[in-house]
Structure 1
Amino acid sequence: MKFNNLLQDFYDAKIGYYRHLAIILGKNYLDNAIELIKTYLQVNNNPKIAYAFHPWVNGSKDRLSTLKEAIMTNEIVDIDYSSSEKYLGESFDLTILDAVDDFRPNYISRLVDLTRGGGLVIIYSDDISDINKLYKFSLTRNGIVKNLFENRFIKMAINSRGIILVNDNDIKFKPFSSSEVSKPHKKSYDKTIPKSLYDLCLTDDQVKLIREFDFVLEKGKRILIVTAPRGRGKSAGVGLALSFYVKRTLSKPTNVIITSPSYYSSQAIIQFLEEGLRALKIRYKKKISKEGKIMKISAGEVNIKWTSPDLAKDENGDLIIVDEAAALGIENLEYIRNSWDKIVFISTIQGYEGSGKAFMKYINSLDNSQIVKLDYPIRYAKGDPVEKFIYNVMLLDAEPEVYRNNTQFMEITQEDLFSNEELLRQIYGILVSAHYRNSPDDLMFLGDMAFQRIFTIGYNAVAEIVEEGELDETTEDHILNGEENEGNLIPHRIIKYMRIRNFGKLKGWRIMRIAVTPELQNQGLGTKLLSNVEKIALKNNIDWIGSSFVADYKVLNFWIKNGFKPVYLASRKNEGLGGYSVIVMKALTERAEKFLVELGKLLKDKILRTSHQVYFNVNPRILAKILTNIEFKKEIEIDDTYIGKIYAYLNGKIPYNSASEAIHAIAEKYFYDLSFKLDEEEVSAIIARTFQGKSWSHSAKMLSVNNQEAENLLRRGIEKIVKKYYGQEEKDYIEL
């Protein structure tokens, strides 16, 4: 057998508790994969096996059946790529990734991580650069796409130890040694926690986490922050710590909320909470959904339930645990911080769901907080070569440096970027450091999507731009009829949802990402970069430049300060990104300006008419920023009865609800006029209570004030409006 010379390496990996990764390519990929598996089975004859693929693609199930027959087993956990998040808490000895139909960085990074020490990961495909692969095809436009990501992937595999590269009969492999790693271990028993719980911990880091969890039991506001690279057992550790928390509060009525971007992000907490309760011999009951999800656990007087972030932040309880916290965005975290006294934030700081410096800067600024950092991997040895390869090839730990005394504006080609590892790490590191939600897919997009341009100022500020527009009538018709066209994101949203067809004929630049090295932010570099990009766009006869992003106050304010206008706000929350997408644009030609005026009108009308239902969960400060920066005006007539009601409310003679329709009408008049400015806090209070229909309590939380101050802000704003338009009213009633 051609792989017999790897037997000793597999034995060594078992001893050292590290992993191997095999990338099998060429026309004989399936035969070679089967032969390598049979070789591995000589070392581990009863492995737990996972097989990941797209089961709905023609031919994919046939390959799985062939493999099962060849190795004579049906004991394989088959994982649909699209639901692979469900398996994050499991471990396997042999993980096989069918990359014939899809070679997607997100799936690779996530599923490789499921393999435990001594195990083997196999990725097989005829050609990882094939244009017809599902994610690759989404990056293809007019039949054009690049292979820079895949070429770099193969090059790094050849040069990395512990990685087996097979291309038909050609095998490249640089051995690794168990002498270079250290296995997970624990020191002597810590008597501060029950022995049965200690025995469930895999590392000293998890023992430390259980001990430090007591911080949230202290009096006053307490925020415990748990950070770690992926695979360190932070969620499992929190689950065990939570079981000990339950033991000490069994007889006290206690409500605990667990939340995360998706249920599966938190399943390790729930799984190890159960294990901890069993180890502590605590009886409990659980409520399970039709889909098999554990939604609630009750023990004694303690109730613990999982709830989606939108609902969780307004729940009443004694403790809230937020897993993958950075993915929720700073605004949501601030809302939770203002609403809860006892909080646990858990977040990956590196890895495929990493949050980088932006999140770390936020948590380091929090008062009454304590940070617990976990470093030791739980599934494999520290120093594992596969983890090192995945981190390097996906740039999961890219951190930009500050380039001093370099202010040159320049364009960087994708080819130059991917041929210079230091430059790629710097540029990509800047792009991901300024965003809360990143994934390895972003790196493949950067390398393979052809219709983009990359600009920088001194390698300290970067703009990644996608060319969009110039659509033909057939494409516009397809979009109008509901077909996707993600290669033209802004035209797609404008045509499909705003129903403005001819916008697609314009030529635009979508600024996909713009970012500045964290240490140099707030010094005008981003504005300077935008200005230079605009000059280049004008030279290239571009009609518009714009950007689409999850609505965040600071980000929105940056674009508006630089002359961009809001033209679109998504009607539904993007659950994957954790917020509502907003589009801002700047017109560079007269024909583009006409579209921007009409889009502004439509957006203003929609927000003012539907905020109570469509945009109820949007931060009112964001709606205020959008509405006050759309110039569309129209006359609104106010009935005299309304004016009397407003003054009666302002004079304290009637409550808000009795004058709500009058306040709504005069506030609408203000937003369609904007001939003078209110304080932003006043505008936000009016939007929260009057247009979104929030309670005073909910409005106050959104505005980070108390209930009375929320009403005071609204009163001051409405008083300024009514006096501006109608002067000082002598009577707060009318006579018929």
Structure 2
Amino acid sequence: MNVAAVAAELRAAAERADHRRMLVLAGGRDAGIDAAFDAVEGADVPNEEVTVVTAREGFRFERVPPEQSDRLLGSTRTVVVCDAHEGFSPNVLGRLVGVVDGGGLFVVLTPPLDSWPAGSFAESLAVPPFGVDAVGDRFRTRVIETIRSHPGIAVVDVDAGEIERRGAADDSPPTRSSPTTPAATVRRFPAAAYEACLTGDQSRTLHALEALSVGRSGPAAVVVEADRGRGKSSAAGLAAGSLAAAGCDVLVTAPERRSAAEVFDRADELLSGLGGLDRCEEGTITTDAGGRIRFREPGAAADLPGDPDAVLVDEAAALPVRRLSAFLDADAVGFFTTVHGYEGAGRGFSVRFAERLADAHHDLTEVSLSEPIRYAPDDPVESWAFRALLLDARPAVDPLVADASPSSVAYCAPTAADLAADEHRLREVFGLLVLAHYRTEPDDLARLLDAPNLRVRTLEHDGHVVSVALLAREGGLDAETRAAMYEGERVRGNMLPDVFTSQLRDEAAGVPVGYRVVRIATHHAARSRGLGSALLARIRAEFDGEVDYLGVGYGATPELLDFWAANGYRTVHVSTTRNDASGEYSALMVDPLSPAGEALARRHARWVRERIPDQLSDQLRDADPDVVRGVLSACPPGDAPDLSDREWRIVVGVAAGPGQYATAPAPFRRLALAALTGAPAEDDGDGPSVGDALEPRAERLLIRKVLQGRPVGEVAAELGYASERTCLRALGSAYAALTDHYGDGLDVVSRERDRFEG
């Protein structure tokens, strides 16, 4: 065995084709590390161009611990060595593949391929009450099979001293496109920006981004989609620099500040070359022309601080649609997103965001980049990563499911083994799950295939997946685990019991067994036909009598709250902080399936009703009133409100006389909460519910003014009342309706009314 010679051969082929090659060193860890040193020597690569990702220490190269491998995203190395013996995960693999430059080597150290044992990642899949022995090995089998069959991957058995594969692949000279500079008469950006482009794709994209320039005919939006490593962030930086050079204020946002580093680097380089750079500080660049480029986190950027001339949203696929929609309030906005790659799923972005873009008043330009920057097209290592990690998974093409309806579909319960054995079905399932969530990672594929707590349920039309739900088993925890959770220990994979126990101090909540709907998605070509609800109904029928409840947790929006409530799920908790990514408060909901599940739902719904009035005037004071309406309407109603005679006199005084709400807000809050949760009156029979008495705007008024305690002027402006007086009259009218419903038949209410109305 001559690892140095194999590495030299691979490196030479990689350089000829401007591709990458992969070298797998399988066997004992120490032998693999020694062989990796030989590979670097044979490849003739300087130490400073080599990074080793390992939990071990003592290397002469840059060393990065596996848990910090994400800091390499956006950078390049000639050789990356990935130690898969410890701290390995699919995410680590997905991150590192893209770090290797054209002409470089990706070296992976693995245990013997025929006996690769469960490692630390397998332990993370063993969520209680399951142990490591319940974790599958289908993902590792998938990786091994692709390693042994894909072009461009050499395999060396370092224990036996044998070369299993030499990694042959096409090493023809690369074919690349050349960037072009539009004529001065048809471009708005400086020629230097086009000269900085590396491919024809990039210069074409930069020209499309000129639609964001000052002087456009109206609002403009540009959507740029690309696979990882195509130069979209560089194009964004060149556009930002060009706009700032012309005096524009450019606001840049991304899920994390480091995601936008390339944007600022390219803008800085361009402005420095143009001689227009005034000052460059962390997160802000200013120009001699009065322009600037500044970064803000998505939550702050959504408010468009300072009224920027243009907004650039990098890695837009990692942000939810509701947050992305806020950026359409800007007159010029660019969205940049990864289609296939570790950072996210741009197809999901384009499908989920398409309707909002179509409804916006922006002239829309869409452009895509397909040619890689770091290496030539048709790179075998990239295609291996797509194949092994399903980075390019997508649902069935639209025509195959366009006629799907609840009556045409079959309910299926494929096991993980079924999915592993059927690549076509696996791709359709995973492709739909990618579209359902704004951030799906390679780890999710391994969980789908190997995690013992997960189940997949589908609706299939003519053999194609049209709707999918991913379910996670939760609860059924022993007393020791429940006690540890109560005392603050995090227990993986048990989200609802964890919240109920650690935050809400309900140690018994870990006893019932439930299935949480982790994700649910319906093919975009068959939406709005009731397929999602049909899938939930079939899941409920299957598990009724087998588990105690079905549950779900998600970033609460009015639409989602309506969907889950319509499918029988009840509110059992609302978070008091917003999710960093979605910007929403999270809601937990439960659909009970047994007496134990009913008892769990009932007591937590009661606790929601008890604490939410105080939360709405404090931590939830900024919550969207339609979210609050949805949360409360999905909360099982409590008893009729119990007001003293004096409190009824105060309420009737506001509803029918000269009384003032501010005199004693407490009874007004109790009535508002009763109305919004649908609490019955004392003698309710088959008559109209309280919900029939209030229009949606009146419900929003109760939330904003009474429960959240917002100033009346602010509430009047937000809800469209002509004046503060009109707003207060509307409040009186709302309480007149509530008095009719909850006070009907009470002597004190009749007497007070007679005084004002008689």
Which secondary structure state, in structure 1, belongs to the residue aligned with residue 576 of structure 2?
coil
Q: Name the structure 1 match of 2:682.
A: none
Indicate if the aligned counterparts of 1:682 and 1:714 stay in contact, CA closer than 8 A.
Answer: no
Cα distance, 1:311–1:163 mapped onto 2, change above 3 Å:
same
Cα distance, 1:673–1:454 mapped onto 2, change above 3 Å:
closer
Indicate if the aligned counterparts of 2:515 and 2:547 stay in contact, CA closer than 8 A.
Answer: yes
Indicate if the aligned counterparts of 2:26 and 2:109 stay in contact, CA closer than 8 A.
Answer: yes
Q: Name the structure 1 match of 2:341.
A: 351
Structure 2 residue identity aligned to 1:491: P
Q: Name the structure 2 match of 1:35.
A: 38
Q: Name the structure 2 match of 1:296.
A: 284
Cα distance between partner residues in 2 of 1:328 and 1:523: 26
Residue 94 (structure 1) aligned to one of 62, 79, 102: 79
Cα distance between partner residues in 2 of 1:387 and 1:627: 49
Query: Given the alignment of the two structures, is residue 204 of structure 1 paired with residue 192 of structure 2, yes or no?
Result: no
Cα distance between partner residues in 2 of 1:657 and 1:331: 35
Gaps in structure 2 of 5+ consecutive residues:
680-688, 741-748
Cα distance between partner residues in 2 of 1:394 and 1:582: 31
Cα distance between partner residues in 2 of 1:342 and 1:648: 52
Q: Name the structure 1 match of 2:254.
A: 260
Residue 521 (structure 2) aligned to one of 481, 502, 515: 515
Residue 241 (structure 1) aligned to one of 239, 242, 245: 239
Cα distance between partner residues in 1 of 2:180 and 2:52: 36
**CA offsets 1:408-436 (integer angstroms, 9 cap, x no match):** 22221111211221121122112222222
Cα distance, 1:179–1:210 mapped onto 2, change above 3 Å:
same
Q: Name the structure 1 match of 2:611.
A: 606
Q: CA deviation at 1:604?
A: 3.1
Written as runs of structure 1 = structure 2, the 5 A alignment for 1:358-377 is 358-365=348-355, 366=357, 367=360, 368=362, 369-377=364-372
Indicate if the aligned counterparts of 1:430 and 1:462 stay in contact, CA closer than 8 A.
Answer: yes
Q: CA deviation at 1:696?
A: 8.9
Cα distance between partner residues in 1 of 2:669 and 2:324: 30
Indicate if the aligned counterparts of 1:161 and 1:173 stay in contact, CA closer than 8 A.
Answer: no
Q: CA deviation at 1:387?
A: 1.0
Indicate if the aligned counterparts of 2:179 and 2:202 stay in contact, CA closer than 8 A.
Answer: no
Which secondary structure state, in structure 2, belongs to the residue aligned with residue 633 of structure 1?
coil
Indicate if the aligned counterparts of 2:125 and 2:135 stay in contact, CA closer than 8 A.
Answer: no
Cα distance between partner residues in 1 of 2:140 and 2:709: 51
Query: Given the alignment of the two structures, is residue 131 of structure 1 paired with residue 136 of structure 2, yes or no?
Result: no
Q: CA deviation at 1:531?
A: 1.7
Written as runs of structure 1 = structure 2, the 5 A alignment for 1:4-403 is 4-27=5-28, 28-41=31-44, 44-45=45-46, 48-54=49-55, 60-61=56-57, 65=58, 67-68=59-60, 76-126=61-111, 130-134=117-121, 136-140=123-127, 141-143=130-132, 144-168=134-158, 169-170=161-162, 171-179=164-172, 181-183=174-176, 185-187=178-180, 191=184, 192=187, 193-216=189-212, 217=214, 218-249=216-247, 255-287=249-281, 294-300=282-288, 301-314=290-303, 315-318=305-308, 319-337=310-328, 339-365=329-355, 366=357, 367=360, 368=362, 369-401=364-396, 402=400
Cα distance between partner residues in 2 of 1:445 and 1:382: 31
Cα distance, 1:362–1:433 mapped onto 2, change above 3 Å:
closer
Indicate if the aligned counterparts of 1:10 and 1:40 stay in contact, CA closer than 8 A.
Answer: yes
Q: Name the structure 2 match of 1:631.
A: 636
CA RMSD of aligned residues (A): 3.4
Please report the TM-score for the alignment, with normalisation by the length of structure 2.
0.84
Indicate if the aligned counterparts of 1:597 and 1:632 stay in contact, CA closer than 8 A.
Answer: no
Indicate if the aligned counterparts of 2:66 and 2:92 stay in contact, CA closer than 8 A.
Answer: yes
Cα distance between partner residues in 1 of 2:409 and 2:727: 46
Which secondary structure state, in structure 2, belongs to the residue aligned with residue 18 of structure 1?
coil
Q: CA deviation at 1:448?
A: 1.2
Please report the TM-score for the alignment, with normalisation by the length of structure 1.
0.86
Q: Name the structure 2 match of 1:422.
A: 424
**CA offsets 1:82-123 (integer angstroms, 9 cap, x no match):** 444443232111112222222212221122111110011122
Cα distance between partner residues in 2 of 1:590 and 1:278: 69
Q: Name the structure 1 match of 2:685.
A: none
Cα distance between partner residues in 2 of 1:379 and 1:385: 13
Q: Name the structure 1 match of 2:684.
A: none
Q: Name the structure 2 match of 1:435.
A: 437
Cα distance between partner residues in 2 of 1:712 and 1:323: 45
**CA offsets 1:695-717 (integer angstroms, 9 cap, x no match):** 8999899xxx7865898997697
Give the aligned length. 697
Which structure is larger by alpha-carbon Rg, 1 or 2? 2
Cα distance between partner residues in 1 of 2:317 and 2:140: 29
Indicate if the aligned counterparts of 1:24 and 1:122 stay in contact, CA closer than 8 A.
Answer: yes
Query: Given the alignment of the two structures, is residue 564 of structure 1 paired with residue 554 of structure 2, yes or no?
Result: no
Structure 1 residue identity aligned to 2:176: K
Cα distance between partner residues in 2 of 1:505 and 1:245: 59
Cα distance between partner residues in 1 of 2:723 and 2:171: 62
Indicate if the aligned counterparts of 1:261 and 1:578 stay in contact, CA closer than 8 A.
Answer: no
Cα distance between partner residues in 2 of 1:190 and 1:641: 76
Cα distance between partner residues in 2 of 1:354 and 1:698: 39
Cα distance, 1:450–1:649 mapped onto 2, change above 3 Å:
farther
Cα distance, 1:708–1:178 mapped onto 2, change above 3 Å:
farther
Q: CA deviation at 1:272?
A: 1.3
Gaps in structure 1 of 5+ consecutive residues:
55-59, 69-75, 288-293
